[in-house]
Amino acid sequence: METMRKERIDRGVRVRASGLYAISSWREMLYLMGPPLALIIGVILLPVILELAPYWKRVINIMCVYALLALSFDFLANYVGLVCLGGAFFVGVGGYLSAIFNVYLHFPVYLSIPLATICGAFICTFLLMPCLPLRGVYFAIVTLMYPLLATRVIEALDILGGTNGITGLDSLPNEYVEHYAIILMTLFFLYAMRRFVNQDVGLVIRGVKDNDQAVKASGISVTKMKAFAVCIAAFMGCFGGAYMSHMYMWSGLSMFALDFSIIPMASVVIGGGGTLLGAIIGSFILVPLSEVLRNFGTFRIVIYCALLTGFIVFKSEGIMVYAMRKYHQFERWVKV
């Protein structure tokens, strides 16, 4: 019997575009620049386009918040090797801090969000510091505990508004500021992170994931590097939280909700781990989907989980890697 094998070959245009010739013709330029530009312009124009369907405008913000969280999860999991199941902790800390700054200390919005982000990042890093020597399952378990612990402590001590949360935060000045604040931050973080992981510092952090022993033997403190990485991830998460508390003009226990841990994780798995862009794409698919499924109540979580499990088991590379392959290469069957 004749056996066939699938062969993958780079497209001609990719080969041409990878060298100096990239700038020689419009076609190659378009090939290289097209997808990123489409993404950037598409996302930036989204609020304008959605004037037609105002209901969906709020979804943009939530979508971007989740995109940031997914970015932070992807960075920690696939570049540092720390699987943080407690993304909600970052959100909660950011949200509550921003509420404290705004409601109790009467800081204006444009001060409370950045302050909450920065302070939140440091606080989260400080609190997670003890867990950093842990690896694999242990780190995942402990980080899973953090948001739960925070919820129970707030409940038990009845501080920060207890179960009612803190209400009466200022909203952002107007709708467009609200949209563009988060959209631009998301894009900024996406490209900043993509750049960062290829810098020298980024390489050291990736080294920690590949082989922490060798990093230690190179005279670099692994814990310090991990703390640095967590700080960056927490920065993104806290910004999301701080922003969201102002968007809802409220900060409460649901800031520590499971959603903020599970949806970003699902986004990363679906979008493609380790690509950073995949995290964004994943959440741009999942969040609108969850909006569509709003009427199903908690059944939404069942659907995410099914999707998540399905992708992990059957298509662990994720959409992004798959799409990249299709874009850059073509496949054909050849005789062996």
* 256: amino acid identity, one letter: F
Interface characters, 61-100, with another protein (x: CB under 8 A): ----------------x-----x-x---------------
Candidates 41, 49, 105, 210: give the one binding another protein (CB under 8 A). Answer: 210
Nearest-angstrom CA–CA distance, 132 and 226? 7
- Using the rule CB under 8 A, is 334 a contact of another protein? no
Closest CA to 308 of 267, 258, 275, 280: 267
Q: From the CB of 264, what's the least distance to another protein, in Å?
A: 12
Strand blocks (E) in the chain: 4-10, 166-167, 250-251, 329-335
Q: Judged by CB, which is closer to another protein: 1, or 137?
A: 137
Q: Is 301 in the site for another protein (CB under 8 A)?
A: yes
* 219 contacts another protein (rule: CB under 8 A): yes
3-state DSSP of 43-58: HHHHHHHHHHCHHHHH
Q: Provide CB contacts within 8 A for 78, sequence distance 6+.
A: 209, 268, 273, 274
Question: What's the closest the beta carbon of residue 285 comes to another protein, in angstroms?
Answer: 17
- The rounded distance, in Å, linking the Cα atoms of 127 and 90 is 11
Closest CA to 216 of 287, 273, 133: 133
Count, residues near another protein per rule CB under 8 A = 60
Interactions with another protein, residue window 233-262 (CB under 8 A): 258, 262
Residues that bind another protein (CB under 8 A): 77, 83, 85, 130-131, 133-134, 136-138, 140-142, 144-145, 148-149, 152-153, 155-156, 199-201, 203-204, 206-207, 210-211, 213-222, 258, 262, 265-266, 269, 296-299, 301-302, 304-306, 308-309, 312-314, 316
